[in-house]
């Protein structure tokens, strides 16, 4: 703090810095609270999606077993056929309190379903059921991937925000406050020194005025005494003569 000159200008500058830091702290605190709420929502959604996904996977693979039992081993025929995707995954952005979270969405490509001839001999319904159940499983898998990716991104953003909040609360704002306290103490000390200096100057002037006053009074008193002594001398000179005793002088 010694490198900061204790002046009124620096005091105003650091007061503005403290106000800005407190404003940033409040905004980051609100952002952290919003991210925490979203973080809990994502955690809850992931848990629910995983629970549903396990059921969807079990149902899909059990349906696959039923279809193979009814229609025979049709996996080879599916692998030999044209592999044209009917669904694709698109990426989007979800903005949560200024944090961009990746979001995956499934969309239809419009391609016609292949291998429609499967199950004509037998097990057609089972194969259709397998297709529908694996489609639902794929949708759940994409949803889970989107939630988990957003969850990881949100977790990193929350950590960074909490670090900034803690830095402002425990480092930046206390440091600025310490500088302000130092400047206030130094300014108060300077004011006390100026006040003491003024009191000393005033006391010295009052002492000089008192000395001048006493000197003037002494001079005045000396002047009065000198006047009285002159009058007494004149009185002494004429007191010895009596006009009645003087003889008349004839010219």
Helix ranges (H only) for 84-172 are 124-167
34 and 97 in contact (C-beta within 8 Å)? Answer: yes
Phi and psi, residue 125, nearest 5°: -65, -40
The predicted structure's pLDDT at residue 251: 44
CA distance 128 to 132: 6
**E-strand stretches of the chain:** 87-96, 99-108
pTM of this prediction? 0.61
70 and 123 in contact (C-beta within 8 Å)? Answer: yes
Cα-only R_g, the chain: 53
Residuewise pLDDT in 10s, the chain (251 residues): 557 888 888 889 998 999 999 999 999 999 899 889 988 998 998 888 888 888 888 888 888 787 776 666 666 666 566 667 777 888 888 888 788 888 888 877 766 555 555 554 455 677 777 778 888 888 888 888 888 988 899 899 999 999 999 999 999 999 999 999 988 888 888 888 888 888 888 888 888 888 888 888 888 777 776 666 655 555 554 555 555 555 554 54
């Amino acid at each position: 703090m010694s490198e900061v000159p204790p002046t009124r200008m620096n005091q105003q500058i650091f007061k503005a810095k403290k106000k800005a830091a407190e404003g940033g702290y409040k905004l980051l605190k609100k952002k952290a609270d919003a991210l925490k709420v979203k973080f809990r929502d994502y955690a809850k959604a992931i848990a629910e999606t995983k629970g549903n996904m396990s059921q969807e996977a079990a149902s899909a693979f059990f349906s696959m077993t039923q279809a193979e039992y009814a229609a025979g081993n049709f996996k080879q025929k599916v692998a030999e056929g044209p592999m044209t995707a009917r669904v694709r995954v698109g990426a989007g952005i979800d903005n949560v309190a200024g944090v961009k979270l990746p979001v995956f969405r499934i969309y239809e490509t419009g391609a016609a379903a292949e291998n429609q001839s499967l199950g004509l001999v037998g097990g057609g319904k089972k194969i259709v059921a397998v297709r529908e159940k694996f489609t639902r499983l794929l949708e759940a898998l994409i949803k889970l991937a989107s939630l988990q990716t957003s969850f990881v991104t949100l977790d990193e953003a929350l950590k960074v925000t909490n670090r900034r909040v803690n830095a402002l609360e425990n480092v930046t704002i206390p440091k600025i406050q310490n500088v302000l306290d130092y400047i206030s103490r130094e300014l108060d000390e300077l004011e006390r020194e100026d006040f003491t200096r003024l009191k000393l100057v005033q006391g010295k002037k009052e002492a000089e005025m008192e000395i001048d006053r006493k000197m003037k009074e002494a001079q005045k008193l000396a002047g009065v005494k000198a006047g009285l002594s002159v009058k007494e001398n004149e009185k002494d000179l004429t007191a010895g003569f009596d006009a009645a005793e003087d003889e008349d002088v004839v010219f």
